[in-house]
Structure 1
Amino acid sequence: MPGLLAKRFFGVPLLVTEYGVDLRAHYLAGHCGGQGASTAADTCGGHGASAGPLAPGASVPPGASLPRLSAPVRALLAAFRRALAAEVYSQAALITPGDARIRRWQQKCGADPAKLRTVHPGVDAERYAAVGEAADPGDPYTLVWVGRTGPGKDLVGLLQAFAEVHRREPRARLRLFARPAAGEEEACYLAHCRSLAAHLFAAGASDDLDVHPAAAGPVSFEPLGSDGGRTTAEACASGAVTVSASSVEGFPHTLVEAMLCGRATVSTDAGAVVEVIGGTGLVVPPRSPRALADACLALLGDPARAARLGAAARSRALELFTADRNTAAFRALYLEVISRSPVHRDAVGAYGEPLPFARPAEALVPVGWGSSAPQAGAS
């Protein structure tokens, strides 16, 4: 809204950046009956979009439930969001989607393809340099999962897949590094996954986060984050292969971080995963535990291949997904926008001297803002 007003009244060029399509998240949340905000947020990559059928501009914490709205209200909000998206795209000088999936949605919403410039989100590569350049490839029999828990991450499918992996390769271990649960939905899902792991594996799953996972069984749940947990780089360094089983996904930041750590990846075809991974990892259909297990076993059984894929993944991430590249891309785009926009020039006198008060301040006020309606009874 502020950007549209600045464009309308002051002629300020509008550059629109979206890492998630707000209208798509609104449709998904409405389809779920106002529940599962975290799933809708996952499809937006956690950026720039509210996660449900709320008033425009409202947002919802991950894992929160949304109020149930009547069908007419949802239809009204959807119509408003469609109209707003179309107006924003028509007024924008340039539009920068975060990946090809978002680009397709923007075109469906009326964006001019000539205005679109894909700019991937950037990650600070320096934080992963030590692990990525180290000679240690990690434990060759350890699979690592990193992220936030929730139904969209399909940890249930991952545990089912690992049951097959462990049956065929008893030395295999799965370390799950989870960020703190944000909301009741994520907490309940994590508890369900712990219970399932204890049921699937005779040795159970580690609930004591101070105990090394090998002491508790083939599966461990460990904290990730600033509150005493591991960093993402430390988590990825603990194993040779990083795995993702998401059924819905936006831009897979965690996979980019694993790539920067030089780790081979096994992931499901969701969101922008294929666009990010390219040919540097194995991709399988979502919600297919057998295919996921086969891919994990293929890399666990061939450490040399895993090392080659990890090296290729790091090179790809350094080329396409760093913060420096993201900054350089936006700098070039802003210069492009400025070069095509009219420039306000200060008034000068006959000999080129500046005339600072040649234009009154009122000239910068939009027409109608400075005028007031005549009061009744005024003479």
Structure 2
Amino acid sequence: MRIGLLTEGGYPYVSGDARLWCDRLVRGLGQHDFDVYALSRSERQQGEGFIELPPQVGRVRTAPLWAAGEDGVAFGRRARRRFAECYGELAAAVCAGDAVAGDAAGAVSGDGESGVADRFGGALYGLAELVREEGSGLAGALRSESAVRALESACRAPGALPAARGARVPDLLTVADRIERTLRPLSLDWYDEEDGLGSVDLCHATSGGAAALPGLLARHFWGVPLLVTEYGVRLRAHYLGSHEESGPARALLAAFQGRLAAEMYGQAALITPGNTHARRWQERCGADRAKLRTVYPGMEASRFWEVGERAECADPDTLVWVGRIEPGKDLVSLLHAFAQVRKARPKTRLRIVGTPAEGPVGAAYLSDCKALAARLFPDGAEGVRRIGGRPVSFEKIGAPDLSSLAEAYAAGAVVVLSSVVEGFPINLVEAMFCGRATVSTDVGAVVEVIGGTGLVVPPHNPRALAEACVALLRDPERRALLGAAARARALELFTVEQNIAAFHGIYLEIVSHCPVRRADATGEPLPFAVPAEAHVRGTWAESATRSASASGPRWAAGAPAGSGAAGAGAAGALSDSAQERVPAGEGAR
């Protein structure tokens, strides 16, 4: 079958979120063809180019989320009237009470929550249909004075969100700008029945928000089923990262994200959260439990195999923390906890391995942590670790005894996670692959991942963290048993192989229950976008593909003659889109 893989800020670019996960999925499902539709988050990311793509990727089409895409074209009078109606409905639905409610999936009838959700969906698809007819002009309209006035009117209407009633012009401008950024995919030229998302068998959105919008439109226009995978729920990310906006702007943007999430979950054939923590957020946003299938992220276990096999640690008196240094990791509590650990076991050392998060916040936090360590441990806290010396060290992968990530985990007896905010704890899984005993805070999906194979303590509690670390440092046998159990659990649940097998089954299940209704030139039904003979080498396959292309069935539109085993387009196939990039031969730069 042909999969339309929808990404935002990651695959197939050299850098970005979920890049490795998507690459492993595509390479592991070589029996399917993939068309990648990617949204880039920055000019730098787009300029870095693509990773080397496997032959089953037939087409890559890209579009920037960082550029407004203004083309200088304005809607005519009739189009402006339609836009005002649609955007007014959208704004009214966003401002109509709490968008993040248990009834968002439609449990309430009449003019209640489900009626508001219908208004939001109708307005969204109305805007998309307007763009299809007009071809351009949406970006300017979404930023126009009429859009801001529609938001203002909705905020002042009876029954509007209490927090939004005090919205001022700067707040409304902020909200209009953020809505425009999210809705930019509505203006793309990806929505073609012959050479776009209308020609795929299944759309797989690798995140919510903007990445899922093309899938929603393919579902609306052609009935293409939509699969949504969320390893980080967009609404949760908004709540955690929206401190710069004012209260009214934050409330309005949360309501918009909630409405969009409810529409996405309502239209999706299946939703695959990465853990139970994300699943609860999705249910809160209106996802039907019957559509939810937890699929854990797949991680490469082979990188940690050697360390996991030998089990022993480099230093039984050392604690190790590995990760990205930022406030959410709460290294301050870890340092205070370590001060208590040193009182019980004076020879213990703490190795903090990682780099600060990008931007001034990460660098400032690292500096603060080093200063705190210097105050708590006057014998020194910076630089590399010396035997018999500094109790705390801040290090990076690449040091003489930390040549790899696996060696970092092997450097200590206990691996510590001290976060106050966490989604799926990747570093914790890596420690489990290495057979390490762990002490973690009870945040995000930590308890679900650990499953009883490590110690878990409350966040923001240095005393509990210290007591758990001391308990494991004093008991080598318990450490060994917990480490072995953790490794067995990780190998069973969190490998690339289990992830690929899960999605292979889900793809087949969705297509069998929600097929796209296609027919050839004679009216005969066609079950898949790519005929089976396109995957067979030889002259028979080539002639069959040429014959199919000549007869004009829509499922063959993207399959060039002689594509052979690559199916519908070997890597490098182009469409007419000005936003498309050539994947073939463009390796990591």
TM-score computed with the length of structure 2 as normaliser = 0.52
Alpha-carbon contact 1:86-1:110 (below 8 Å) kept: yes
Give 1:29 shift.
2.7
| DSSP-derived class of the 1:221 partner | strand
Cα 1:283/1:346, change in 2 over 3 Å: same
* Alignment partner of 1:292 is 2:465: yes
* Alignment partner of 1:113 is 2:289: yes
Aligned AA for 2:275?
D
Alpha-carbon contact 1:206-1:213 (below 8 Å) kept: no
| DSSP-derived class of the 2:328 partner | helix
Alpha-carbon contact 1:180-1:225 (below 8 Å) kept: no
User: Which whole-Å CA distance do the structure 1 matches of 2:333 and 2:379 have between them?
Assistant: 19
Cα 1:151/1:360, change in 2 over 3 Å: closer
Give 1:28 shift.
2.8
Runs of 4+ in 1 over 4 A off after TM superposition: 347-350, 353-361
Q: In the alignment, what sits opposite 2:412?
A: 239
Alpha-carbon contact 1:266-1:292 (below 8 Å) kept: yes
Superposition map of 1:1-379 within 5 A:
1-30=213-242, 33-34=243-244, 69-207=245-383, 209=384, 212-214=385-387, 216-224=389-397, 230-342=403-515, 344-347=518-521
Alpha-carbon contact 1:138-1:238 (below 8 Å) kept: yes
Alpha-carbon contact 1:13-1:337 (below 8 Å) kept: yes
Aligned AA for 2:298?
G
Deviations 1:65-86 (A, max 9, x none): xxxx344433332222121111
Give 1:206 shift.
2.7
User: Which whole-Å CA distance do the structure 2 matches of 1:166 and 1:195 have between them?
Assistant: 18
Alpha-carbon contact 2:304-2:433 (below 8 Å) kept: yes
Deviations 1:152-180 (A, max 9, x none): 11111101111111111111111110124
Once the two structures are overlaid, the 10-residue window that deviates more, 273-282 or 127-136, is 127-136
Aligned AA for 1:214?
I
Alpha-carbon contact 2:319-2:412 (below 8 Å) kept: yes
Give 1:204 shift.
1.4
| DSSP-derived class of the 2:491 partner | helix
Aligned residues: percent identity?
A: 62
User: Which whole-Å CA distance do the structure 2 matches of 1:345 and 1:306 have between them?
Assistant: 62
Once the two structures are overlaid, the 10-residue window that deviates more, 104-113 or 229-238, is 229-238
User: Which whole-Å CA distance do the structure 1 matches of 2:460 and 2:261 have between them?
Assistant: 32
User: Which whole-Å CA distance do the structure 2 matches of 1:334 and 1:105 have between them?
Assistant: 24
| DSSP-derived class of the 1:267 partner | strand
Give 1:10 shift.
1.9
Cα 1:200/1:114, change in 2 over 3 Å: same
- Alpha-carbon RMSD across the aligned residues, in angstroms, is 2.4
User: Which whole-Å CA distance do the structure 2 matches of 1:199 and 1:245 have between them?
Assistant: 20
Aligned AA for 2:256?
F
User: Which whole-Å CA distance do the structure 2 matches of 1:201 and 1:355 have between them?
Assistant: 74
Aligned AA for 1:14?
L
Give 1:94 shift.
0.3
| DSSP-derived class of the 1:87 partner | helix
Residues matched between the structures, number: 321
Once the two structures are overlaid, the 10-residue window that deviates more, 175-184 or 279-288, is 175-184
Cα 1:15/1:225, change in 2 over 3 Å: farther
Give 1:348 shift.
5.4
User: Which whole-Å CA distance do the structure 1 matches of 2:361 and 2:311 have between them?
Assistant: 40
Give 1:231 shift.
2.6
Alpha-carbon contact 2:398-2:404 (below 8 Å) kept: yes
